[in-house]
Amino acid sequence: MRYFFWPLVLIILALRFYFFFNIPQPYNDGDKIRISSRVTSEPIRYQTSQYLKLKGLKIYLPLYPEIHYNDFVVIEGEVAEDSLKKPKLVSFQEDRSFLANLRKSLQMIFQKSLPQPHAALIAGVTIGSKANLGSDFWEALKATGTAHVVVASGMNVTLVAKFIVTILFLFLKRRRAIILASIAIWSYAALAGFDAPIVRASIMGSLAFVAQELGRLNAAVRTLLISSWLMLMLKPEWVFDLGFILSFVATLSLILFDSRVKSKLGFIPSIIREDLSTSLSAQIGVAPILFVTFGQFNILSPVINALVLWTIVPITIIGMIGGILGLIFEPLGKAVLLLSYPLTSWFIWIVQIFS
């Protein structure tokens, strides 16, 4: 049984991929079509247009009205290879559910409290929204190998969870701290509107994390593999999704390398050792992926990451607390968010120097 289990799992996954990706393209070039669909990921906003992908077609719409994740849209246009030309937004229905509104309100609070690109950075880091990053800043992030911080990945989740456990561990028993941290991760996912990337990052992050803390190394790896397998069975298209890949790889490298890296960092002052080892060990797996996907390899990328990654946890924490307070009483939330300004300034400054 032991020897058959993993090959069997792989074969099932391969079959799932085969049947999923082998569907022929249902339309030809020049076809005039009408797409009625939910928006499956947050559109990217450029200077004068917004970009979204529906039914495998790239669509560029005018900037306003702004379309969001999970809105229902009806769009007409002409198929040209993999994009929809002359698109016209016939109608759209906003997703007015509680969670969608929460996510939008959080984004609004960030944007109202801080200038760009600080607001976009904090929105990217805390709720994984890269909608308003702007192309210049996005290019700079890619060039420095730091783009992964704004692609909601298991790494952010794991970093934050580790931090929460460390804090709780000051007051509570380890096991209780871990349970509370898992609750924190999932409240965080809820706050981010259960956006798909955040959910899978939370699943992977929390499962692997809990397994690592409670059990042995092998148990953690196995939990991660099984949960990723389940997700791919449900959503085969995620296999090409950068957020998914990064979540997987970052979590895996954390499980495998964190304790080893930490033991080698004895010479580093204890005040930053924990953070440094977390970010370095995640980098071991993440760096090659970033190189392949963004085609840009910055030899200094590990250095840049070491310089900026320590800001991610405090930015996320401030973003979450400030965002929640802002929902209750806006001026208070704004005041808290202003505290992240020195951190985001540092992050942006470093990224701009090296890009």
What does the binding site for another protein look like in residue numbers (CB under 8 A)? 45-48, 62-65, 108, 111-119, 132, 134, 166-167, 170, 270-271, 314, 334, 338-339, 341-343, 345
Rounded CA-CA distance 124/151 in Å is 7
Q: What are phi and psi of 137, to 5 degrees?
A: -70, -40
Amino acid type, 304: I
CB 131 within 8 A of CB 43: yes
CB 255 within 8 A of CB 212: yes
Closest separation in Å from C-beta 115 to another protein: 3
Label residues 3-13 b or e (16+ Cβ within 10 Å = b). eeeeeeeeeeb
| Residue among 167 and 324 whose Cβ is closer to another protein | 167
| Residue among 44 and 80 whose Cβ is closer to another protein | 44
Closest separation in Å from C-beta 273 to another protein: 11
Closest separation in Å from C-beta 1 to another protein: 45
| Residue among 225 and 268 whose Cβ is closer to another protein | 268
| Residue among 164 and 196 whose Cβ is closer to another protein | 164
What is the rounded radius of gyration, in angstroms, for the C-alpha atoms of the chain?
A: 21
| Residue among 228 and 311 whose Cβ is closer to another protein | 311
| Residue among 324 and 335 whose Cβ is closer to another protein | 335
Q: Where are the alpha helices (DSSP H) in the chain?
A: 2-21, 98-113, 118-127, 135-144, 154-169, 174-191, 196-214, 217-234, 242-264, 270-294, 301-308, 312-328, 330-338, 341-354
For residue 130, what are the contacts with CB-CB under 8 A and spacing of at least 6? Answer: 42, 44, 120, 124, 138, 150, 151
Question: Cα 150–141–163 angle (5° rounding)?
Answer: 40
Closest separation in Å from C-beta 259 to another protein: 19
How many CB atoms are located within 10 Å of the residue 225 CB?
A: 15
Structure-block tokens of residue 106: 């959080």
For residue 15, what are the contacts with CB-CB under 8 A and spacing of at least 6? Answer: none
Dmax (CA) of the chain: 65
Question: Cα 270–144–152 angle (5° rounding)?
Answer: 75
Closest separation in Å from C-beta 180 to another protein: 16
| Residue among 53 and 334 whose Cβ is closer to another protein | 334
Closest separation in Å from C-beta 269 to another protein: 9
| Residue among 1 and 271 whose Cβ is closer to another protein | 271
| Residue among 115 and 215 whose Cβ is closer to another protein | 115
Rounded CA-CA distance 235/224 in Å is 16
Closest separation in Å from C-beta 314 to another protein: 7
Closest separation in Å from C-beta 92 to another protein: 11
Closest separation in Å from C-beta 338 to another protein: 6
